[in-house]
Chain A
């Protein structure tokens, strides 16, 4: 809250880890900004990355509300993501066999739009979460881990093999923009004028040796055309999803409901002895997280405009796990941060493995980046090492939840003195 008035004071008030994370975020933002200015990073591609990062953040929030809040081990993140993606495209994409069948059956085409797709995807994800929860949530935590990994495989196999529903390995194309048929927003990208940003009027500035070690040119004209506006629309959409999910999760996390979940995570028997129906709470937490994951899938489909069974590869699940553990299990802001770091890892390793050949010359947002492709072994190695090192040396993650979580407005007095390890609720607007 007082970051604007007293940034130095606020900064020194943070924990070491928070300071590190803040510096990292600032440095990374600066890096991207330089990339933008120098023209090395196209604005549309930049927005695509922001969209992707927000999507991972959304997935991380979903997993955090299962694992972080309640201690549920869900290894089917990719499956719920896939359910979200396929849920919306099977209804709305022009090449979807399901859509065709429904049209043949006389369902008016206007009903088969992405918003209805979103609702269907969410409902299906919820039903599947309940179905997998019934046999496993009464058992030890590791059973859910194994069963959910199995569930992910079953869903992937169905998507891959039921060609008459999903086109199988060919995937689904012809996906409309999420806003198709909406007033104004439907035509927004093409209606917007092309804008030329000319930071240095009449030319550009080049920093090059011997001034700095390598050449850097600033100020070439940046052209913002239809792809940019489309990307901007996409990013706005995912930020709405993200903001809404974050708002909901933050509220429930600090509520008595969230407190029961945290008790279950620490000691389920205690929660049971105190009269909590832990099975019901675990189910609610599991379903809630799965819905958020499906939401991420819905967004991905309309961002990428192509969905294939490769998107359900288990590796996606473990990217998200890394994000949550890195950010700090149980911490919503940690999940946000972790989501962005994972995209940095993905794109960073892509950058290093393709070094020399990669140029961010992407003028359109329709870059097809399939999430599922077996990333290079270096990326796999990196993910593995991060998991092991974190669990070994910092299992609580970088930004563990630190504030006392009591329903806002209930605690009015600020306790005196710093309590080691737990800091005080300070109105909580700046989490």
Chain B
């Protein structure tokens, strides 16, 4: 590619930061690995109730941004806000407490657990997660566990995978695992859910299932921010779409506008070089 990073940046109009009800605000985020700039003053905002897509060519820094937002990496500079709370540089669990939950590209299977057991890891602030309460308040623990189990069962039914409940988590397919992961994340009761390539390696049928579930959950009030390589999937689901390139936000817009934008096409073609 002939243009250097600087000239590229000049053409960046960036994201729309003037939104009404913002759940997640990323402001001027920076991250360097050695000499490599992975995130280069990236800013964008996710409005409540949307499904925001995050796309960009390989190496655009999508996964890095997710890791920075969710607390798995510490940013070198910039600011992350969830629900108006500054969570920059916090631990992942503190960010989860602020209402942001994320999933992973390749979910590892929880060995020795059944699907519903794996689901039960989801709910936050379970009384049974306190060692002391196991002995001082076993009834309370049991009550919460029953409630969580019922909730897990309900969500599995909504996802139409309740037949898997007592299967070993290691025995289900990768696509089913992705569904379970999404279902489990819902048990954590997130206000915003970050999905890292939810349909990578998933067959077309399950892909449609996932899309449907995401849309349904969104209608019920969950905000989504999705990284995805599968353009068709993103463009069908997300609005708006934020385009990243070289660690920086190139532009933001509705799917149609993004798909036809020359800079985006340039970036994708350039990404191959």
- Residues of chain A touching chain B, judged by Cβ–Cβ distance below 8 Å, are 248, 251-252, 255-257, 259-260, 262-263, 266-267, 269-279, 284, 288, 330, 400-402, 404-411, 415, 419-422, 424
Contacts and interface: CB of A to CB of B under 8 A. Distances in A.
A401 B128 contact: no
A275 B124 contact: yes
Contacts of B166: 404, 415, 419, 422, 424
Contacts of B149: 406, 410-411
Contacts of A270: 104, 107-108, 110, 121
Contacts of B103: 273
B121 A263 contact: yes
Contact of B113 (A262, A275, A424): A262
Contacts of B58: none
B141 interface: yes
Contacts of A404: 113-114, 116-117, 166
A407 B145 contact: yes
A273 B120 contact: no
Interface residues of B, number: 49
14 contacts: A251-B135, A256-B126, A256-B127, A257-B131, A260-B129, A263-B110, A266-B109, A270-B108, A272-B71, A274-B121, A275-B101, A407-B145, A415-B166, A419-B167
Interface of B: 70-72, 91-93, 96-97, 101-104, 107-114, 116-117, 120-122, 124, 126-131, 134-135, 141-142, 144-146, 149, 165-168, 170-171, 184-185, 188
Most buried by A among B107, B122, B166, B185: B166
Nearest to A414: B166
A105 to B, nearest CB: 35
A407 B91 CA distance: 29
A269 B129 contact: no
Contact of B102 (A248, A273, A402): A273
Contact of A410 (B112, B114, B146, B167): B146
Contacts of B184: 274
A1 B121 CA distance: 30
B172 to A, nearest CB: 12
Contacts, number: 130
B188 A274 contact: yes
Nearest to B149: A410
A408 B93 CA distance: 27
Contact of B108 (A257, A267, A284, A406): A267
A197 B131 CA distance: 48
Contacts of B92: 272-273, 275
Contacts of B120: 256, 259, 406
A315 to B, nearest CB: 30
B112 A259 contact: no
A258 to B, nearest CB: 9
B114 A422 contact: yes
B137 to A, nearest CB: 12
B93 A257 contact: no
Given A252-B134, A284-B131, A419-B166, A272 B121 contact: no
Contacts of B170: 421
Contacts of A260: 121, 129
Given A255-B128, A255-B141, A277-B91, A420 B112 contact: no
A387 to B, nearest CB: 21
A405 B117 contact: yes
A274 B101 contact: yes
Given A262-B110, A269-B104, A406 B128 contact: no
A274 B96 CA distance: 7
Nearest to B130: A257
Given A267-B108, A271-B121, A275-B124, A251 B96 contact: no
A402 B70 CA distance: 34
Contact of B128 (A248, A256, A263, A271): A256
A81 to B, nearest CB: 23
A422 B171 CA distance: 10
Contacts of A276: 93, 121, 129
A415 B126 CA distance: 25
Given A251-B134, A267-B110, 18 more contacts: A252-B134, A256-B141, A259-B117, A262-B113, A269-B72, A272-B72, A273-B70, A275-B93, A275-B188, A276-B121, A400-B112, A404-B114, A404-B116, A409-B142, A410-B145, A419-B167, A419-B168, A420-B168
Contacts of B142: 407-410
A277 B128 contact: no
A278 B91 CA distance: 10
A266 B141 contact: no
Contact of B129 (A257, A400, A424): A257
Counting chain B CB atoms within 10 Å of each CB, which of A256, A263, A401 scores highest? Answer: A256
B192 to A, nearest CB: 13
Contacts of A407: 128, 141-142, 145
Nearest to A331: B112
Contacts of B128: 255-257, 407
A401 B168 CA distance: 13
Contacts of A424: 166
Contacts of B71: 272
Contacts of A277: 91, 93
B42 to A, nearest CB: 21
A288 to B, nearest CB: 8
Contacts of A411: 149
Contact of A421 (B97, B145, B171): B171
A269 B72 CA distance: 8
A413 to B, nearest CB: 10
A251 B113 CA distance: 17
